[in-house]
Structures are given as C-alpha cells and as structure tokens.
C-alpha cells in the first residue's frame, strides 16, 4: 500500500510543495499569528463527466470558485477512460496547478478537491483526491465533511479486509470502503457505506470511466448537480457551476447517490435516509459564497434576512451600520435596511493577507489586525457605530477590531452578531475550536461585552435564525448553538486522532 501511493505521486511530480516553506508534509502554520475569529471552512469538491471534452481546465475553475472552503491543499484526478492520473499538492489552487499540470491531466472525466483539514493533519499525504485500489479497480475520492467513527472503522476494515492504511484522514476510510465493499453496483456499495459511516460526507468518486456523487443520509454538507457541454457536473456550491458556465439542475437529496457514465445518469436514494435534511446552518451564515443557492435559497438573501431579524430583536440608536468584511457585509446591509440607519464601509479588508508564506517579525505581530483590516477615520470618527458580525467564536479578532475602531475615534460601538452564540463544538466537518476556546461557552453575554470592549452586545436568537432561513425545527444542524446534534456525538473530537503518536 505504501509503495502504491509513492508510485502515484512520482507519476505526477515530486512531493515538494509549491511554496516557500519547506517540505510539503509540514503543516502551514505561517499565518497562525492572526487567526480569524471564525469557524474554519469545510472542503470543496467538484466532479465533471463530459464526453469528448478535456475537463481539467473546467475542473480547475470550478475549484477556484470554491477556494474559500479550504486553503491547505488542492488536487485533481482525471481519466480518458483507460487510467486515472493524479495531481495533488499542498497550497492554494493557483499554487498547486500550473499550465503544464493541466496539460498532463487529460480526459473527459475528473474530480477535484480543495481542503481544510478536520480529520487528519495538514500534510501532503492527506491531500485529495485520494486514490486506492480494490476488487472493482482503482478509484479516486474527494470528500467534504467529517466521519466521526473513522477510528472504529479503520480497525474494523483492517481486520475484515487486511488493509494497511497509509494516510491519517477519514477520507481514506471512505475510499477503502467504496473500493472493497460488497455490491452489484455503485448504489449498493453506497448503501453499504451509508449503513456504517456516521457523520458528514459529500463525496465525488471516479473510476476510470464513471463519476459517482454521494450525499450523506443527513444531508449535512451541500452538493449540487449541473449540466455542462452534453455532460454533468457535481459541486459543493452552485457558484462553482456558474464559474464554468454550467446550468444548475438541482441540489442532491440526503442519502442520494448519482452515477454518470456512457449510458447517461442514474440516481437512487437510500431508503433509510432522513426525510428532512440536516445541513449545517453555518453554510447559510458564513461558509457558502453569498452567490450560491442552498436549500433553494440564495445565501446572500438569507444573510440579509438574518440582519433584519437581528434588528427586530436588538435595535439600538446609532449613526452608522458597518459590517466586518467580507463575510458580514450582507448581514450588515440587512440590519441597516431594516433599521433605516445608513450603511457604510467603515472597515477595509486587505483581501490578500489571509495566507502568506512569510512569517511576520515582532513589530508586525504588534501591528496585528491592522495588517488585515483598516478603519477609515473620516467615516468612523465621532459616530455611534453598530458593528455587525456573522459570528464570534474565540473573540480574538473582535477585540482587535473594536480597539481599532476606538482608535479611529468611534463615539460608541454596539456589536450585533447575526447568529446565535456558539456554545458547542462541531463534529461534522467544521473546525469550531475547543469548548475551552469558545468564549460563549464560558462567559455570559455581559462578560463577553466587557471582554471585547463594546458598549453593547446582542446575538441573533435561534428562533430568529430559523425565521431568516424559513425552516422547520428539524431542518439544519444547529448543534453549535444548541448542543443538540442530528446524531449522538462525543463532547469533543481531536482532528489528529488518526495521526501516529509522536515519539
């Protein structure tokens, strides 16, 4: 098994990252000095089957539209119908793929992946797609989500099929299961997997001549279907379809498996799948691009309604509404429109500071948040400001932003959060910090207000959030706000649980 993986890597180049920070299996911690006060993104997946067309370039641009979902590694597997080629590296999509790489990735069938690690370390050997061999041949797998019983399944599959696992992510468990599970077709294989996998998994899978897409029985992570050049596309978000000129068809249902091959497209839903989805509510609040459609709703519109609901619940007299860019802007516009208070861009964000291979020196560390945000004094000075944010997790960035606004001369600062307080961790593909790090799990609202230095602080209620996205009680996973999850989970999980113990 180890030799197999090394051979695949050597066929597509060296194991060195396309960056400046050393070996590719070293975690990229270069920007840990200024962590976002946000949940860390999920992954993004794309799959294309388009007979008669080379699809590597379309897959690249589909992935490019999903870069916000993961920035640790990226990869693509393609096939002409005879064999699978792979290119997967650490880094951003634009760093991982060059023109010469796309020229080598030939074929009418491809899957692509961009990763943020939620199970398994940020290392080269966990970059996806992963390729495995089994009785039904070689397959490549890309995964968005988190399988919470991956450790148990590794032991079970090792004993059942004699597998030696090479990587340390839950995706390898999924890949080996699909490569070896009993079943007369991919639908029976997927149903076998669904009976055993617990957690979140939107999957793109390819054999040498078929594209398979799977959404877990709870529907926790998004997955959609489109048409392109006489073929089909699946992707994490509709924005990826738009980016490559594909026509949106529909979102996959929870428990649905789609198979695309020379005979066309087939779909089946696992009979035991949940009738209503449990999509992560943070897809609506923050993760998905605002121009993506989720559960039939444009995310931008949902976020504006969150802002409007927030105003209804926690109005305050002020001169200006601003959002913390970029993700909070729709929420702030919704609040401003509902309140009649003018909206303004009081904070400018440097959009290119989010990931760098150059570590700051001590003086730049002290500058801190100003490297990422800058307040416009002429707009802020002397005014009572309502600062709308989409979430507060640890509060580190919030504290620094408020300090920056005070330095710019704000008379009053009222923080309004367009989501409920995050009081519990995530188990389904989001790095939400630990219970000890979640400020709302350890402090009251008044204590948080004093800690961040605001004049007032209010969160959107769970009921207000539900009104904004127009859902029933049993739709969406809201466990991070309520502590109640669609399936039983342990209190906290370690995303490095499958890594070997350090010596």
Residues carrying an active site annotation: 43
Neighbour count for residue 169 (Cβ, 10 Å): 28
CA dihedral (301, 395, 366, 73) positive or negative: negative
Q: Would you mind telling me the total number of residues written for the chain in this entry?
A: 503
Token couple for 412: 């009053």
Q: Tell me which residue of 91, 154, 109, 163 sits closest to 134, measured CA to CA.
A: 163
Q: Tell me the backbone φ, ψ of residue 123, rounded to 5 degrees.
A: -135, 160
Element (H, E) at 214: strand 211-215
Calpha distance 239→257 (Å, rounded): 21
State the first-to-last Cα distance of the chain, in angstroms, to the nearest integer.
Answer: 23
Q: Which two tokens stand for residue 159?
A: 């004993």
Question: What DSSP element (H or E) covers 405?
Answer: helix 396-407
Instruction: Give 428-486 as a DSSP string.
Output: SS-B---TTT-GGGTS-HHHHHHHHT-SEEEE--HHHHHHHHT--TTSSB-HHHHS--S
* Count of other CB atoms within 10 angstroms of residue 8: 20
């Amino acid at each position: 098994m180890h030799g197999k993986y090394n051979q695949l890597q050597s066929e597509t180049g060296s194991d060195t990252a396309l960056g400046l920070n050393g070996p590719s299996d070293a975690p990229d911690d270069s920007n840990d000095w200024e962590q976002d006060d946000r949940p860390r993104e999920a992954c993004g997946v794309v799959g294309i089957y388009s007979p008669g067309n080379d699809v590597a370039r379309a897959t690249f641009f589909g992935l490019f539209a999903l870069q916000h979902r993961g920035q640790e590694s990226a990869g693509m597997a393609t096939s002409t119908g005879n064999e699978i080629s792979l290119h997967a590296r650490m880094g951003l999509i634009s760093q991982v793929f060059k023109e010469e790489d796309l020229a080598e990735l030939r074929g009418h069938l491809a899957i692509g992946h961009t990763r943020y690690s939620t199970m398994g370390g940020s290392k080269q050997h966990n970059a996806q797609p992963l390729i495995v061999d089994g009785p039904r041949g070689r397959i490549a797998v890309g995964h968005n989500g988190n399988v919470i019983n991956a450790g148990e399944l590794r032991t079970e599959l090792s004993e059942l099929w004699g597998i030696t696992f090479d990587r340390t992510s839950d995706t390898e468990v999924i890949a080996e299961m699909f490569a070896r599970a009993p079943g007369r077709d991919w639908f029976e294989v997927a149903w076998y997997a669904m009976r055993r996998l617990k957690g979140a998994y939107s999957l793109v899978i390819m054999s040498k001549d078929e594209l398979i897409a799977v959404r877990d029985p709870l529907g926790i992570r998004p997955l959609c279907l489109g048409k392109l050049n006489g073929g089909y596309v699946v992707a994490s978000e509709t924005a990826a379809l738009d980016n490559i000129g594909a026509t949106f068809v529909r979102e996959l249902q929870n428990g649905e498996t789609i198979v695309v091959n020379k005979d066309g497209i087939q779909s089946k839903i696992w009979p035991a799948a949940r009738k209503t989805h449990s999509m992560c509510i943070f897809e609506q609040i923050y993760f998905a691009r605002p121009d993506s459609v989720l559960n039939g709703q444009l995310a931008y519109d949902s976020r504006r309604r969150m802002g409007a609901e927030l105003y209804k619940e926690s109005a305050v007299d002020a001169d200006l509404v601003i959002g913390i860019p970029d993700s909070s802007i729709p929420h702030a516009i919704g609040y401003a429109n509902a309140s009649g208070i003018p909206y303004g861009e009081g904070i400018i964000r440097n959009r290119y500071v989010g990931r760098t291979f150059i570590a700051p020196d001590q003086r730049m560390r002290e500058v801190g948040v100003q490297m990422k945000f800058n307040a416009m004094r002429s707009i802020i000075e002397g005014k009572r400001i309502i600062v709308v944010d989409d979430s507060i997790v640890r509060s580190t960035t919030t504290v620094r932003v408020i300090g920056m606004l005070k330095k710019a001369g704000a008379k009053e600062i009222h923080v309004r959060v367009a989501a409920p307080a995050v009081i519990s961790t995530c188990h389904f593909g989001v790095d939400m910090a630990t219970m000890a790090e979640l400020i709302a799990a350890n402090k009251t609202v008044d204590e948080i207000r004093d800690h961040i230095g605001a004049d007032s602080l209010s969160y959107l209620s769970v009921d207000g959030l539900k009104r904004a996205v127009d859902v029933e009680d049993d739709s969406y996973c809201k466990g991070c706000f309520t502590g109640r999850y669609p399936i039983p989970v342990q209190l906290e999980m370690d995303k490095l649980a499958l890594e070997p113990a350090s010596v």
